[in-house]
Structure 1
Amino acid sequence: MTQRFRTSRRALAAAAATAALTLTLAACGSDSGSGHGSGMDHSATPSPSASDDGMASMPGMEPVSAGNGLAAAKDGYKMVSTAATVPAGKASAYRFAITGPDGKPVTGFAVDQTKRMHFYAIRSDLTGFQHLHPTMAADGTWSAPLATLQPGTWRLYASFVPDGGAGKGKDFVLSRTVKVSGMAMPDPLPKASGTATVDGYTVTVKGDPMAGMAHQLTATVTKDGKPVTDLQPYLDTYAHLTAFHQGDLAFAHLHPETEVDGDHGGPALSFHAQFPQSGNWRMFLQFQTGGRLHTASLTLRVG
């Protein structure tokens, strides 16, 4: 992990300290998954806005505070899309662009964790997690290949670092909402638990995080009661951790401090974590073994 990466990510976490966040984890064995036990739970509770950021209310562009991933625009950069709905029952491509302070589509993005754009989808009940890497056309239009979405309200996040202009080198997380038609069936949020299982692996998270303070979390991966030591690098790290607030779907992106050294990571991974508010957080931990990506999720209670 590069020093710039650590610094920028901690700066993002610090900026998010003004937002109300909560977060929890369930288990899923792929980027898309299905059902509560797999990290693809589905519910229809609308995600409330945090506060007004001065933007006009438009479909998919609710007025919310910047700095927590809930704003569609920040510091002159804006996530724009003509899509306010996504079809139900089938995979689809979500197209969007990032415009800069000059109003033109941005086409220069820095590589961050091996990708120029990270894209996330989550339903309003914190189910259906997807982590994708869209492709960009020459005109700056990105296309994210969404797996099937269940009915309800979804929030879609774009995480990027401009490679030029006023925002060069700065981390941004912008988001919009979309509707998926049909009868949404809410799933209750699982209770807080320090353990999750996925694909035969057990992930145990330990730590006593307190809101507004930096703490260390340790995630340990075992299989059949034995320590796992063959974790492979995934996006330049041994584990990728994404968190969402239970009430408003605010976004937090945490990464392990463990250095990558070949295909023998684990069993313990240390994370620098800073949660701006107490409550439940829904966290999704992604790791790779034998060329297969696993996604575990569990509920973490922050005091």
Structure 2
Amino acid sequence: MSKRSRTPRRLLMAAATTSVLTLALAACGSSTDSGHSSAMPGMDHSSTPSPSASDDGMASMPGMDTASTGNGLAAAQDGYRMTSPTADVPADRSADYRFTVTGPAGKPVTDFTVDQTKRMHFYAIRTDLTGFQHLHPTMAKNGTWTAPLAALRPGTWRLYASFTPATGSGKGKDFVLSRTVKVSGMPMTTSLPKASGTTTVDGYTIAVKGDLMAGMAHRLTATVTKNGKPVTDLQPYLDTYAHLTAFHQGDLAFAHLHPETKADGDHGGPALTFHAEFAQSGNWRLFLQFQTGGKLHTAALTLHVN
């Protein structure tokens, strides 16, 4: 995975006929989005102790940079670097995470392009793919960003900064950089649920269809219903009717997808169609966020890509 699949013009349309994917949709973790969030049911699944905070075979240690792979797993790319003095975060209470993006000259970058109404998108994911948070940090004049993390469970977490410089050598280029932090305490791992094509979150049922293969662009469709009836009152969230983020099981490679239809009033749905492209085969954990009645809903999906 290179960088965010941010706009349809950057993906090739595939003409393959869609078929039902075997997905596991389970909610876990809760997210805070500058005060707009809803808890995902089932956050505390039955868990077992882990001897290591580095779950799912993730090799990096807290605060260490990883080799650049073009999939959001590096702290530096093309001269741009995500830096932070924080390698440890307290468990079970909110905490501010501060970081800076420096450019090729080593100075903090302060000029960013607005993407989906924000200059910076920030994500936190635990290494067993639970505890997802999607935040929009604030930047001080000196280029220091502050992300207000909600309480984190013990273990190792990867934190992603998604941005586009407005000036300099990286002007107009999408970057996803990341670092890891360790949350003190006994980490408890959670296994991914078995495959299922539908799920219910906050009373909404979501059914997903598609036919995905690694390295190819295909169409993915999520249909939202409630009490057996199509949902047609989805509200715009970050300039779209749904926000979709994915992380690869094992290495936590990052993917970002958007619906094809532009938001136009509070009448989105029931079908949300995405351009989807995943660089690797295997299981991906997807987090689908949509808004109704001013409330943000987050559903978690386990998707297998051939």
- Structure 1 match to 2:99: 96
Q: 2:286 is matched with which residue? A: 283
Aligned to 2:26: 26
Note the 1:260-299 alignment, pairs <5 A: 260-299=263-302
Q: 1:195 Cα deviation (Å)?
A: 1.3
Alpha-carbon deviations, 1:236-278, whole Å to 9, x = none?
0000000001010110001111121210000001100011222
Alignment CA distance shift 1:58-1:46 (3 Å): closer
| Structure 2 Cα separation of the partners of residues 131 and 9 of structure 1 | 23
Please give the secondary structure, in 2, of the residue aligned with 1:107: coil
5 Å-filtered alignment, 1:1-303, equals 6=7, 10=11, 25-27=25-27, 31-32=31-32, 37-38=42-43, 44-46=53-55, 48=57, 59-303=62-306
Consecutive unaligned residues in structure 2, runs of 5 or more: 13-22, 33-37
Separation of aligned partners in 2, 1:278 and 1:34: 30
* Cα offset, 1:64, TM superposition: 2.5
CA apart distance, 1:46: 2.8
1:133-183 CA-to-partner distances (Å, cap 9, x unmatched) read 000001000000000000000000000000100000100000000000100
Which letter maps to 2:164?
Answer: V
In 2, the alpha carbon distance for the partners of 1:6 and 1:160 equals 14
CA RMSD of aligned residues (A): 2.5
Cα distance in 2 for partners of 1:5, 1:189 equals 27
Confirm or deny: 8 A CA contact 2:25 2:198 kept in the other structure: no
Compared with structure 1, are the counterparts of its residues 40 and 204 closer, same or farther at alpha carbon in structure 2 (3 Å cutoff)? Answer: same
Which consecutive unaligned segments of at least 5 residues does structure 1 have?
Answer: 12-22, 51-56
Counterpart of 1:18 in structure 2 is none
For 1:298, give the aligned amino acid: L
Distance across 1 between alignment mates of 2:94 and 2:221: 35
**CA distances 1:22-77 after superposition (whole Å, capped 9, x unpaired):** x9652259525668724999874435468xxxxxx884123233310000000000
CA distance in 1, matches of 2:45, 2:75: 24
CA displacement at 1:298 relative to structure 2: 1.3
- What is the rounded CA distance, in whole Å, between the counterparts of 1:277 and 1:182 in structure 2? 32
Q: TM-score if structure 2 supplies the norm length?
A: 0.86
Q: Hey, what's the Cα distance between the residues in 2 that align with 1:217 and 1:116?
A: 27
Query: Of Structure 1 and Structure 2, which has the larger fraction of its residues in helix?
Result: 1
User: Do the aligned partners of 1:155 and 1:175 also contact (CA within 8 Å) in 2?
Assistant: yes
Cα distance, 1:116–1:64 mapped onto 2, change above 3 Å = same
Q: Which runs of 4+ in 1 moved over 6 A?
A: 33-36, 39-43
Q: Could you tell me how far apart the structure 1 residues matched to 2:73 and 2:191 are? A: 22
Counterpart CA distance in 1 for 2:260 and 2:190 is: 33
Shift of 1:113: 0.3
Letter in 1 for 2:230: P
Partners in 1 of 2:54 and 2:40 — Cα distance? 16
| CA 1:244–1:292: 2 relative to 1, 3 Å | same
Q: Percent identity?
A: 74
